[in-house]
Amino acid sequence: MIRKVKGTRDVLPPESRLWAEVENTAHRVFDGFGYDEIRMPVMEPTELYVRSVGEDTDIVAKEMYTFADRKGRSLTLRPEGTAGVARSYIENGLGQRPQPLRLSYFGPMFRYEKMQRGRYRQFAQIGIELLGAATPAADVEVLLVLHTFLAELGFDDLVIVLNNLGDPEDRPVFIEQLKSELEPRRVELCSDCQRRWDANPLRILDCKVARCRELVADTTPVADVANPEARAHVEAVEAGLNDLGIPVRRAPRLVRGLDYYLRTVFEVVSPELGEDTVICGGGRYDRLIADLGGSQVPGIGFAIGEDRLVEVLPEVFRQEVFDRPLIAVLPIGPDAAAPGLSLSRRLALAGLAAPAEVTGRSLKAGLKWAGKIGARAVAILGESEIAEGTVIVRDLENSEQKTVRLDDVAEYTRRLLARSVEASTGSESNDGHERVG
Ligand code: ATP
Ligand code: MG
């Protein structure tokens, strides 16, 4: 038996329906705010990530799937989406389009990590990028889109945490300050942080080792060292979010694991997964496109980890997805096969889920099958129904049945299934929407 690659997953039905519905919701919300999808390659030249994410980050230093292709070029399976968006922006001259440019992306990312709950080697991200706007309003918009999307999924317990990294010019001052404060306890830092000390000291704040976290807990927050403009920027973002009723919490030591961020950085955490298992990360990256050889184009965006998001989806959302009503089509007898499929098509095009029995089961066996796949009703097509242009629709919950004209069957079934959904959920409304934060 051949087994899947370690760290990859099969998302099976019906679980896969949750993923599809999460993605549909994301498209609906993102499209509503004017974000159009960009579809990028899953492999890029390795250099792209080295130059953008940064050589001394965990991602580039130890997590990339990098390989030489048959001509010896170094390629990397994308570990994140923003670098690819920046590359595409430059390569396709997207700066020529009306700015700001709003983009969304969906798809698999790859990181060679230690497997554990919520941490996979192939995982999916859902992200947006807002390019060409440097104002605080742009940051507020991106966080508003995030908040709206999560609220549409029915979340009411997620927390958005935010910090101010300042500008790259502030970094040496901050690093000097950080090092002087940590110097007396330097030997207590983990071996990774010993290496970071010279290579990329900011990353010490991002270390997951408990002792390192304790040691950095009392250091001066990076925001305190930020220049006045950067401070005013992030304070304006917070004020804008406050005006919109979006709660965010300052996280003074949040730095995020990618080098290109400046000023606003943020994360979304869930009480269920804990602060170590972040659902979404994002921030501003005003120098990234210039650093990759493009012009000065500011940007801000976020990436949601879809695997982690699906794991903590609110019960209301799960139920709505799993309770999708089904009507099974039962053609009885060899001459009923084609009319049965035709009926399936008619119902499917009317927006109903109507799988047909195609293995030649008898009526009795067909009813049993319909019960097993969770059908609420069956549409029975026998010789006389076909001759008369009718269908027998049977409600499996109360065994009531009615002969319906083919032209009316979709409408009749829709009403019948809607009644059965109402009966099973108690009502058609649910309020779990609107509160995130
Ligand atoms: P972490 O601190 O958990 O390693 P990260 O800072 O490396 O996360 P980002 O690069 O910001 O993560 O990616 C954005 C989101 O993608 C994360 O918040 C998380 O939800 C998801 N993610 C990152 N790595 C993985 C992974 N290996 N498996 C599943 N989801 C992941
Ligand atoms: Mg990581």
Q: What's the pTM? A: 0.93
User: How distant, in Å, are the alpha carbons of 12, 14, 128, 137 from that of 20?
Assistant: 12, 10, 18, 31
Q: Using one digit for the tens of pLDDT, what is the confidence trace for 204-221?
A: 998 889 999 999 998 999
- The 10 Å Cβ neighbour count of residue 374 is 14
Q: What percentage of the chain has pLDDT greater than the value 70?
A: 97
Is-cis flag, bond preceding 100, omega within 30? Answer: yes
Q: Which residue stretches of 200-281 are H helix? A: 210-216, 222-225, 228-243
Q: Give domain status of residue 1, yes or no.
A: no
Q: How far apart are CA 282 and CA 270, in angstroms?
A: 16
Domain boundary among 279, 301, 317: 317
Residue 330's CATH number = 3.40.50.800
Q: What is the pLDDT of residue 56?
A: 84
CA neighbours within 13 Å on the CB side: how many for 359? 7
Query: How many domains does the chain divide into?
Result: 2
Q: Using one digit for the tens of pLDDT, what is the confidence trace for 254-280?
A: 998 788 999 999 999 988 888 888 999
**Binding site membership of 111 for ligand 1 (Cβ less than 6 Å):** yes
Same-domain check for residues 76 and 153: yes
**Binding site membership of 306 for ligand 1 (Cβ less than 6 Å):** no
Same-domain check for residues 127 and 267: yes
Residue 291's CATH number = 3.30.930.10
Query: What domain range includes position 247?
Result: 15-167+226-317
Q: Using one digit for the tens of pLDDT, what is the confidence trace for 376-394?
A: 999 999 999 999 999 999 9
Same-domain check for residues 107 and 37: yes
What lies within 8 Å, CB to CB, of 3 at 6+ separation is: none
Same-domain check for residues 232 and 372: no
Q: What is the pLDDT of residue 318?
A: 97
Same-domain check for residues 247 and 389: no
Same-domain check for residues 332 and 404: yes
Domain boundary among 260, 294, 317: 317
Q: Using one digit for the tens of pLDDT, what is the confidence trace for 59-103?
A: 999 999 999 999 999 999 999 999 999 999 999 999 999 999 999
Pairing of strands 274-284, 299-305: antiparallel
Q: What is the mean pLDDT of residues 226-243?
A: 98
User: How distant, in Å, are the alpha carbons of 67, 81, 91 from that of 95?
Assistant: 32, 18, 10
Same-domain check for residues 72 and 29: yes
**Binding site membership of 279 for ligand 1 (Cβ less than 6 Å):** yes
Find the 276 Cα to ligand 1 centroid distance in Å.
10
Domain boundary among 289, 317, 345: 317
| Residue of 150, 253, 278, 310 best suited for mutating to test ligand 1, as the one with most atoms within 8 Å of CB | 278
Indicate if the pLDDT at residue 425 is higher than 70.
no
Identify each DSSP E strand in 148-193 by its residue range.
159-164
Q: How far apart are CA 208 and CA 157, in angstroms?
A: 23
